[in-house]
Amino acid sequence: MIFTNNINDIINIDKDSFYFKKDYSNTKLYKYYNSLISGFEGNRVLISKNNKVETGNNVLHRDLEFSKKLNPYISRIKERDSLIIDNLFVFTDDYGDRNICHWMTEQLLVLNYLIDILNTLNNYKVSNDSSSDEYKVYVLINKNPRNSMFQLIRDYLSKIPLLESNNILEVDLQTGELYNFDNINGIYNSINKFSILSKNIFVGNSISNNLSSLYSGWNFLHNRLSISNITELNYNKYLTPLSKFKNFYMSRRNLLDPSKKTNTRVMENLSEISDIISFKNYIEVFTDELNSLDDRINLFKKAKNIVCELGAGMHNLLYCSEGVNVYVMFQKNNYSWLQEYFPLFQNKKMKVTLLVGETTSNQHNGNWLNTPWKLDVFELNKIPNAV
């Protein structure tokens, strides 16, 4: 690949592929010229101009053997009827749709590149006084991420200046259908089978990013988004404006429901612990049930005291103002994971109190962090009663 530092090169250089890198934490932008993106067995496939399957950890998904399996089918895939557009932006893979931790760490920061591309093309459009489609940028996202991520991803895209909502394409990887959303009528329109031929395909990649380097890139991105006029809604459980929740508990109690269970990292006495925290006047909130980005910002920006359990939901602390008191419950063997949040705690000038529990079994779901555990109720004496 060819390395470049000039954002204009992304639009102008007609090479088969190259990548562009700026200081947006650990991110890259790959560009493929006159290439095809389509679907195969529930996966996204990118076939570059020279008939090479672009796959693997740094492009579209994490199955490193997938390209070998796909090679015999390239000609058949290229025979499909395709939607033809000039510029398409694609996220690295749909693994990032699993939860807010993966999305914000591994996907979100590439929106900085999308904003750069939109700004560059808009400048060309204005200088040439043109309404040509060659200046439009389409964005491809997964139509069926985990439920808690469905609205958050779309909300972030809606906050990007110059990105038109009808230029967001959604693919159902299981059926192979391509859709866009009709905002006026509130319905999805099926526009094609999933096969897109594009002059410029941009693939944002921040898979090598981590929690320790997230804050600076996230902060820069949020200053570029249109988030000044956010909607104030009532939290559906309490009929209270979210910005009124000064003291709350980010509970995982709802994950005890078998239909919501996400992994084996379960606090065995979670109901007892949750009852005690609620008795201390902390409002119990389930962040995976917040309906929008505006809800998250409203809830966290004016918080004073937050009780939480170490987990993906702690990424919501990014929306806090400085100086918040945070009480984190976690098991001892997760300390290395907790350390990844330290730069966030420091940047936000948070006052953090740790409540440490014990692992009760070494059984897990393949991730050694996800072991069952128990917190001694006496640890809760570290949490003052909320006023």
What is the pLDDT, as a whole number, of residue 92? Answer: 77
Instruction: Answer yes or no: are the C-beta atoms of 268 and 374 closer than 8 Å.
Output: yes
pTM for this prediction:
0.88
Highest mean pLDDT among 19-28, 78-87, 206-215 belongs to 78-87
What is the pLDDT, as a whole number, of residue 353? Answer: 98
What is the pLDDT, as a whole number, of residue 40? Answer: 78
What is the pLDDT, as a whole number, of residue 57? Answer: 45
Q: 219 — phi, psi (to 5°)?
A: -65, -40
Answer with the residue of higher pLDDT: 281 or 96: 281
What gap in Å lies between CA 204 and CA 52, rounded to an integer? 19
Angstrom CA distances, 359 to 263, 265, 336, 376, stand at 15, 10, 15, 11
DSSP 28-94: EEEEEEEEEEEEETTEEEEE-TTS-EE-STTTT-S-TTHHHHHGGGHHHHHTS--EEEEEEEEES-G
* Count of beta carbons in the 10 Å neighbourhood of residue 369: 17
Q: Of 37-41, 154-158, 363-367, where does mean pLDDT reach its minimum?
A: 363-367
Instruction: Answer yes or no: are the C-beta atoms of 57 and 64 closer than 8 Å.
Output: yes
Answer with the residue of higher pLDDT: 175 or 116: 116
Q: Of 64-68, 80-84, 164-168, where does mean pLDDT reach its minimum?
A: 64-68
Closest of 337, 195, 342, 359 to residue 267, by C-alpha: 359
- Whether 145 has a pLDDT exceeding 60, the answer reads yes
Q: What angle do CA 39, 44, 50 make, to 5 degrees?
A: 90
Please give the domain boundaries of the chain with CATH numbers for all domains. 2-209 (no CATH), 234-382 (3.40.50)
Tens digits of per-residue pLDDT, 340-362?
999 999 999 999 999 999 999 98
Q: Determine what percent of the chain is predicted with pLDDT higher than 70.
A: 84
What integer best gives the mean pLDDT of the chain? 84
- Whether 274 has a pLDDT exceeding 50, the answer reads yes
Q: Of 26-35, 60-69, 156-165, 201-210, where does mean pLDDT reach its minimum?
A: 60-69
Answer with the residue of higher pLDDT: 97 or 6: 97
What gap in Å lies between CA 323 and CA 154, rounded to an integer? 30
Beta bridge partners of 17: 32
What is the pLDDT, as a whole number, of residue 2? Answer: 46
Residue 21 DSSP label: -
Q: What is the mean pLDDT of residues 245-266?
A: 81
